[in-house]
Amino acid sequence: MIQLLNPDGNFFLMAGPCAIESEEIALQIAEKITGITSRLNIPYIFKGSYRKANRSKGSSFTGIGDEKALKILAKVKSEFGVPTVTDIHESHEAAMAAEYVDVLQIPAFLCRQTDLLIAAAKTGKVVNVKKGQFLSAGSMIHAVDKIKESGNDQVILTDRGNTFGYQDLIVDYRGIPEMRAFGVPVVMDCTHSLQQPNQASGVTGGKPELIETIAKAAIAVGADGLFIETHPDPKCAKSDGANMLHLDLLEDLLVKLVRIRDAVR
């Protein structure tokens, strides 16, 4: 597996824009975050979706073109020397995306899709599976087993909250130690867990003012990593801007989280 924990035992970070919007924005974000994480000794994986498949409205932004976006992810890796992660949605996408990135991410709504998990596993890449909003932490052992039984033991699990009513999510922090007991790294998705989905407008809402709260609690209970979507101008982001962290706020947050990690260790 790619190096996720540094010798000091710090948490790792998966962060970047929700979707690859342009080369300029992707490189801007990557440059900023690699500088911060280098100073703070935080292992970093650049995140960006080459295509968004799960959208509320048919007119919602889905991407700039698969190959174009994947090549931008590859450029981020080559220019900044960091691993990259992107989502896949169907089995046939696994081999294509694996040519460009280091980690294949399975979206939460698709975490039970056996063929998708197996296809991702067979690429030999690290597979990050997001826990379904509709599943208990304990049930994620089956996703882990599907990947490992396919000959790949490079698995990460990511919690992104649980459905609460029709238009909200809550985080059950008991799930972090429960999933860590499976012997895999566990990540807290600090931005998607604050979404307010299924709005009548067709545009997902969010509570980004609580990102720090979610992140602090996750580190306190032992999360191995954090997932944070960030953008230099969330209001103008083409996807999930309502729950993203402003890029200018990231360093201050990470400084606080490193202190918490040191305290709980």
- 184 has a pLDDT exceeding 90: yes
Residues 106-128 pLDDT 10s: 999 999 999 999 999 999 999 99
Confidence of residue 56 (pLDDT cuts 50, 70, 90): low
Confidence of residue 265 (pLDDT cuts 50, 70, 90): confident
The residue-averaged pLDDT of 60-72 equals: 92
What is the model's pLDDT at position 58? 76
What is the model's pLDDT at position 167? 85
What is the model's pLDDT at position 5? 59
Instruction: Round to whole Å and give the CA distance between 75 and 207.
Output: 32
Share of the chain above pLDDT 90, in %: 82
Residues 130-169 pLDDT 10s: 999 999 999 999 999 999 999 999 999 999 999 998 889 9
Q: Which is more confident, 33 or 168?
A: 33
Confidence of residue 60 (pLDDT cuts 50, 70, 90): confident
The pLDDT mean for the chain works out to 93
Confidence of residue 240 (pLDDT cuts 50, 70, 90): confident
- 179 has a pLDDT exceeding 70: yes
- 206 has a pLDDT exceeding 80: no
**Identity of residue 198:** N
Percent composition of the chain: helix, strand, coil (DSSP 3-state, to 5): 40, 20, 40
Helices 114-122 & 141-149 angle (0-180, nearest 10): 50
Residues 186-202 pLDDT 10s: 999 999 999 787 665 65
What is the model's pLDDT at position 239? 82
- 1 has a pLDDT exceeding 70: no
Residues 210-228 pLDDT 10s: 999 999 999 999 999 999 9
For 196, left (φ over 0), alpha (ψ -120 to 50), or beta? beta
What kind of architecture, by CATH, is found in domain 12-53+61-264? Alpha-Beta Barrel (3.20)
Each domain of the chain, given as residue ranges in start order, spans: 12-53+61-264
Instruction: Round to whole Å and give the CA distance between 14 and 166.
Output: 28
- 254 has a pLDDT exceeding 60: yes
Judged by DSSP in three states, 233 sits in: coil
- Residue 66: is it exposed, middle or buried by C-beta count within 10 angstroms (0-12/13-18/19+)? middle
Instruction: Go through the chain and tell me how many residues it has.
Output: 265
What is the model's pLDDT at position 198? 63
Confidence of residue 7 (pLDDT cuts 50, 70, 90): low
Q: What are phi and psi of 84, to 5 degrees?
A: -130, 155
